[in-house]
Amino acid sequence: MSTHSVNVSGISPSTSEAQLHDFFTIDSIEFAEKSQHAVIHFEKSSAAKTALMLNGGTLGGATLTVASDVAHQDEERASNDPVEQSDKPRAGIAAEYLAKGYALSDRILERAIEIDNKQGISNRFLTYFQSIDTSLGSRTLGPDQTISGKVQSTVSSATQQAKSVDEQKGISKTATDYYERAIASPLGQKVRAFYTSTSKQVQDIHEEARRIADQHKTPVTSTGESGEKSDTPASPPASKEAGV
């Protein structure tokens, strides 16, 4: 069993193991329902570190205490390895939580920003994001072109044409579309900066969460403190590449 674990206490009696799996994106769990305590195991140390970021969040009306006796760290992995959820900026992960329907407190959002400032953005994620920028640019604007290097109005027009071609060819949607649509949007430059820069504010995370929700054509509503479900849509489906 993985050694990358966190202890979660203060779990509401109404919270199920399935809800814990959804909230923490768990690899495995030891859940003592009577004591409302769980030991959650992760394959990656960085995933455990993300879970600790959610300390003080609420789920099912109860405030969770997320702790560990181990100081979990982000791993250094080869840039050509598949990009995983824990490789993304913590602010980006927080935005996904908000868009998925959990209301996170400003303190948790500040904690996400603090981690990004301290750790920087994963080189693997930066490489992955740049590859999307380049591949989309080549497809919409021509060889050796990037989305970030062009005026957004030009990008929007070209991307719409590329989308029509993709649909005609029956190209299936993938999780990568999430980022492609984001950086090809009118706010593309701002979105790109959000995922590739550590300079963020709490409001930036809320804006990104609203953008994610808008892409799913469902309005975002806010509720409660941190971790409570609201009437927002699920975040983009998981993928082996980006975990979004």
Domain boundary among 40, 75, 110: 75
> Both 69 and 156 in a single domain?
no
Q: Tell me what pLDDT residue 223 has.
A: 37
Total of domains in the chain:
2
According to the model, what pLDDT value does residue 185 have?
A: 76
Do 212 and 139 belong together in one domain? yes
Mean pLDDT per block of 10 residues along the chain (244 residues) reads: 82 91 86 87 89 88 90 69 81 91 89 93 87 72 65 53 53 60 80 91 95 68 43 36 34
CA atoms within 13 A on the CB side of 204: 20
pTM of the predicted model as reported, rounded to 2 decimal places: 0.73
What angle, rounded to 10 degrees, do the helices at 202-215 and 106-119 form?
100
Of 75, 101, 124, the position where a domain reaches its end is 75
SS3 content of the chain, % helix, strand, coil (to 5): 45, 10, 40
Distance of CA 55 to the CA centre of its chain: 17
Q: Are residues 67 and 84 in the same domain?
A: no
For residues 195 and 183, the answer to whether their CB atoms sit within 8 Å is no
Could you report the per-residue pLDDT of 29-61, keeping only the tens digit for each?
999 878 889 999 998 888 899 999 999 888 888
Q: CATH number, domain at 70?
A: 3.30.70.330
Say how far apart CA 175 and CA 205 lie, in whole Å.
20
Do 17 and 107 share a structural domain?
Answer: no
Distance from the Cα of residue 56 to its chain's centroid: 19
* Pair 33, 121 in one domain: no
Q: Do residue 142 and residue 181 come from a single domain?
A: yes
Query: Interior CA angle at 65 toward 59 and 68, to 5°?
Result: 130
Residues 109 and 63 occupy one common structural domain: no
Please tell me whether residues 163 and 94 are part of one structural domain: yes
Write out the residue range of the structural domain in which residue 84 sits.
Answer: 79-244
2 Cβ contact list (under 8 Å, min separation 6): 27, 28, 41, 42, 43
pLDDT value, residue 171: 44
- Please give the torsion angle defined by the CA atoms of residues 140, 142, 143 and 149, in that order, rounded to the nearest 10 degrees: -80
